[in-house]
Amino acid sequence: MTSQTRQRQVASSSSESPPPTNPTMREPPAWMADGARRWLEDAGATVEGGPDRAFNALPLSGVRVSLAERGRAVCSLRVPAHLTDAEGNWHKGAIAAAADDVCAAAIMSVEGIIKVSVHYDITYFAPAKLHEEVELDGKVVEHKGRMTAVTVEIRKKESGELVAIGRQWMTASRHRGSKI
């Protein structure tokens, strides 16, 4: 299942009406935070009809979401074997992909849509090992037109040691309300 399919499912499963288009709205409707939480949780779920996960769900295998609201998404997971390198470290590409998903969910919690990355920077500080629990904390930090800046900190849950920090700009692939 692609992230766009999950986005459509989340949007269509909401029982509340769509958000107003008022850009000065301070508090996003609750359905946006609920949608962001479900999107993250579904990303770690198995694909319907089989034991395998969708490719884009691999980085969030076993994710537990603790917060998804008002421009913030916090979740944790234990580093699974299928996402480690030969030395038993959480693979850097898997870290980057998980960070990207958490940033997208932080945006979804206030804008109600999944955006795509246009600039992405990640810095690695310490490895996370197989079965080690990590926490990912994504936050919206700025909006400029269709662009949104987000950051994510990834820390070892037990020690608080910094694993990585990601910074990215994301944009809507089309205008809200577009029929295309």
**To the nearest 5 percent, what fractions of the chain are helix, strand and coil?**
30, 30, 40
Range from 50-54, 64-68, 173-177 carrying the lowest mean pLDDT: 50-54
Q: Which tokens is 40 given?
A: 């993250």
H helices of the chain, in order, are 3-13, 30-43, 92-111
User: Who wins on pLDDT, 48 or 160?
Assistant: 160
H or E stretch at 151? strand 147-156
pLDDT band (50, 70, 90) for residue 45: very low
**Helix and strand element counts for the chain (H, E):** 3, 6
Provide the whole-model pTM: 0.72
- Mean of the per-residue pLDDT values of the chain: 79
Structural contact between residues 116 and 124, judged by C-beta atoms closer than 8 angstroms: no
User: Who wins on pLDDT, 118 or 14?
Assistant: 118
pLDDT at residue 112 in the model:
87
Q: Which tokens is 83 given?
A: 């996402």
Structural contact between residues 122 and 151, judged by C-beta atoms closer than 8 angstroms: no
Selection from 16-20, 73-77, 153-157 with the highest mean pLDDT? 153-157
Q: Which of 112, 138, 118 is nearest to 7 (CA)?
A: 112
